[in-house]
Structure 1
């Protein structure tokens, strides 16, 4: 239980806490209305607060760009949902310091008339920082590691398993009151000495945040050579590795930014330099080869922002279009053009399951491109490139997501397997489990279903499986030839259960629809009241019937022992993945050595389903009533 002043005063406000900026914004508007300069002290406080948020967000983006720095990470554990939720309100301290700055301006009105620049301020504020802030922080930080203060206050900060830029702001209210004083003393002192200026305040505060983010970024980026050239730098500036040792051995490395004070206080971790040099020189060796890779692709421009390296809090919840993303649309558009020009599959996220590393790579192509004939060759080249890279790395299984295994594009992956018969990596489309999930959602007492997309890879498997279960399958298709081909695959005793229909009116009395091809609201009207729409179509159909129920896309919940998972897979809930993704994981965990490409082996549907359940995967109920 936290002690006094451990909780934030506005803790219960949720997102409404940003209304605390309202008085500051009102003051800016008021000053502007009465003819005062827009660039006044109130405006500066607000601008600095926004710039600070951008700095932390920018560092967070960099820290989570796994395709750039995965091998340079100090803590290799993935960022999970628990830590993201704990650090959700990381920016509370920025609000607090904006409030405290506004109070200081009321108490010292002359702060509003500071010059733009004063050269003497650089020396003054640097001296105050080294002589006051650094030792004061060292003493306070060490005090917070005492039994009482650590238990009731500082343990919250250390509860974050993986240091992140946002972790720097993750602390109790009391800690940040002390921290505000530490950052404020040099600024206020410089101003009281007559050397203050607007530029000095901006430079000090933003440089302060940059160094805090550097220490918590979990990526070693400081070149060790400069410490060998000038050894004294080891006592002047810390590194991410140096600070990470404090999270491993909490009795050492208490400094703010200067290890000098740890050396003077005899709290310097003796392994600091060796660990730092090792992190720099062996970064190439730090990378762990994944056992499994899920090869996804971007769906559309706004969903491209649903990745951990953009907004980790946003990616930790199911995807939906948000208003705050709209200003970033042009950035996505030009990024898309750059991807068209030259790009390759990049690492997006990873998690650990049963001691095995599972990674998600993304082919830099957008959903609509898969339907442009002139893009097909280029898309296949990118998928092939990713498969060959995985094969070279020693990946055991690579699973193709969504449109990456499109039948018309590459025959469900057969193109790559036939072209490279010596592949060691197993190529898997995962659709066997997708079929199993869809089939196991259908009640056992159903005697008739209406199937759209009936001649597709999944539609064929579902139709054959159900007809062998003595269920009448109304297969919507205008291609008699393709229907006959599928019908001939069924046992002669069950062929009569497959019935070709060419119009939606044929399903007027059928309450179980399995949608494998997108249908409009007008087409859904042919379903009788009480119909349940199962679906394996991408994108999902619109829920337009209030008197019917709709299933989501086939999905499964990952086993409970998954570790390091901190992002949602598109519109799926936390810990839930598309069935094809789960199918690839099952293939990997079971150690199956066959490729799973091309047509689905109907005889293996039950085998894959039982293997998934045995491994701890659980189906996700998809029946929801539209209201």
Structure 2
């Protein structure tokens, strides 16, 4: 049974909970229409302040997840996983609670709604009352929640269940807990108003600064320099740091203060290593952190998908990407960022996760998908990829795997260009296509006797054709180049060569129900497939699911092992914990400790070997058929 005031009364409403703001909005707009004055329009003031408070938490979250800026300043190194993100999904419940409580207070005490816009004495009064009332009151409540087993278990443990502090963790709590914090934040404001120094500006400033400092402590990024405390030692007791508050989250029985460690010193709950750890984290900000063991070098697909990033919205990034109408208002801002990225010369860190105590990172080439098809941009893109490989080599990275367009045959020969140019690379360069081929081949039922293959002379198409003909499967290879077809045919065993058949038109597949698509096909070209056809595919972007009487496979992908830690974002349209096969191929290469480069043409003899290695390490196929 759930304890009283442990769950939110609107937790089953979902997005409809925001309708509870409706009366405030209606009253505010009506008052604005009637009076034409916003100064004493307390309903709109509450809504505006609530909106600004949301902005503070969102901006802090974005900053915390900008790993390319904060990677050396992070206090806890593990990533924020899906479990924590889901648990903090309704983080803004406390804002709705406090908005409703404030409106009730104004309704009961109308004088609070007639405060002047500005009173400079109010800032001094609210600061004094904060120190005298809010700080000790928070300290008392906070220690009470920890010292009482019932209170901690039923009301405060939820807040501490977030393993990595983030700004949204501030709202991850129960009703009773936030009622207590509402008293803490409300006492200085009400006290200042009763003293006659209250004002709308004082109210807004205090609440916003309160939230800013709360987010600072929960950011998991140390931005307060130790030099500040070295220069003015007394400040250590007047302002906490992210390191100071993170110690409370990791050890729980220490550092209970709100913003001022002075009260922990008075209450004898000050962690003895607070200043030492803060100085250490501050000094580490100028040093490189842990070197990743594996790097996946990705790229941005398009402007809209660029918003599917943890530092834009970790909630959006934690679900498979879909294009939504709500994204389009942000499109201009994303486009401007794209223009800035066009001139950026550095790869940036996107995300990371841990697998069996090995750090796996995703780096991103600051280029969009369409740029890879611009002839004048190829040299610059290859320079970015080469710089990333050389950087990984210098750092000591063991394996770097190239995403779809970063290993394009026309761009760099599937990575061959870099290996030949730098023969002494210690980092292994992997295109991951061997596992991609293995995933596609293992999706095809064993009883299939004939397949139709587009993109037949590409790296993947060649390997798939040669593998299937060895299984005595007839492969209709769509290609206009007889020379390239014959070259591939000669690679097959003599007794299997007759299973490879060149075709030049889609009509040749009108009786074949297994299509393997490696080159984008239009709905008209799909129309030649018979009813009941299944389209396997390794083409980027995926083909349109035009035929209702046919089925369509997803892009080749695999689910990461269950012991992966700190993974909190989806890889483009993939489900949680699922990555593209080329990414998974690099992971397997690293886990197996293979020392060869996997670039250029695929070794057909290694397809089964790579597949078995993937399954051995706990990777699982995610085929829809």
1:280 aligned onto 2:282 = yes
TM-score (norm 2): 0.98
Kindly report which structure 2 residues correspond to 1:406-421, keeping only aligned pairs within 5 A, or say none. Answer: 406-421=408-423
Contact 2:243 2:274 in 1 (8 A): yes
Deviation readout 1:566-590 (Å, 9 max, x if unpaired): 1100000001010110000000000
Structure-1 separation of matches of 2:328 and 2:42? 31
Indicate the residue corresponding to 1:133 in structure 2. Answer: 134
Contact 1:164 1:217 in 2 (8 A): yes
Deviation readout 1:182-219 (Å, 9 max, x if unpaired): 10111111112111111111110100000000000001
Indicate the residue corresponding to 2:301 in structure 1. Answer: 299
Structure-2 separation of matches of 1:238 and 1:431? 50
User: SS of 1:144's equivalent?
Assistant: helix
Contact 1:2 1:153 in 2 (8 A): no
The structural deviation recorded for 1:608 is: 0.2
Indicate the residue corresponding to 2:15 in structure 1. Answer: 15
1:168 aligned onto 2:141 = no
1:56 aligned onto 2:57 = yes
Structure-2 separation of matches of 1:284 and 1:229? 20
Structure-2 separation of matches of 1:330 and 1:44? 29
The structural deviation recorded for 1:487 is: 1.0
Structure-2 separation of matches of 1:456 and 1:150? 61
Indicate the residue corresponding to 2:25 in structure 1. Answer: 25
User: SS of 2:400's equivalent?
Assistant: strand
Contact 1:351 1:358 in 2 (8 A): yes
Structure-2 separation of matches of 1:474 and 1:413? 28
Kindly report which structure 2 residues correspond to 1:334-345, keeping only aligned pairs within 5 A, or say none. Answer: 334-345=336-347
Structure-2 separation of matches of 1:122 and 1:460? 73
Structure 1 residue runs of 4 or more that deviate by more than 2 Å after TM superposition: 32-36, 110-113, 282-286
The structural deviation recorded for 1:29 is: 2.1
1:402 aligned onto 2:433 = no
The structural deviation recorded for 1:358 is: 0.4
Kindly report which structure 2 residues correspond to 1:216-615, keeping only aligned pairs within 5 A, or say none. Answer: 216-285=218-287, 287-615=289-617
Structure-1 separation of matches of 2:383 and 2:470? 39
The structural deviation recorded for 1:112 is: 2.6
Q: 1:149 aligns with which of 148, 151, 165?
A: 151
Structure-1 separation of matches of 2:558 and 2:498? 33
Contact 1:72 1:286 in 2 (8 A): no
Moved more, 52-61 or 28-37: 28-37
The structural deviation recorded for 1:38 is: 4.0
Structure-2 separation of matches of 1:315 and 1:599? 34
**Structure 1, unaligned stretches of length 5 or more?**
none
Number of residue pairs matched? 623
Deviation readout 1:516-545 (Å, 9 max, x if unpaired): 011111111100001000001111111111
User: SS of 1:34's equivalent?
Assistant: helix
Structure-1 separation of matches of 2:325 and 2:521? 28
Structure-2 separation of matches of 1:24 and 1:492? 80
The structural deviation recorded for 1:33 is: 3.0
Indicate the residue corresponding to 2:86 in structure 1. Answer: 85
Indicate the residue corresponding to 2:194 in structure 1. Answer: 192
TM-score (norm 1): 0.98
Structure-2 separation of matches of 1:397 and 1:499? 38
Contact 2:344 2:366 in 1 (8 A): no
Structure-2 separation of matches of 1:163 and 1:353? 21
User: SS of 1:577's equivalent?
Assistant: strand
User: SS of 2:554's equivalent?
Assistant: coil
Moved more, 431-440 or 176-185: 176-185
User: SS of 2:13's equivalent?
Assistant: helix
Deviation readout 1:13-72 (Å, 9 max, x if unpaired): 111111111111111221233243245211111110001001000000000111111111
1:123 aligned onto 2:124 = yes
Structure-2 separation of matches of 1:341 and 1:308? 22
Indicate the residue corresponding to 2:6 in structure 1. Answer: 6
Deviation readout 1:401-431 (Å, 9 max, x if unpaired): 0100000000000000011111100000000
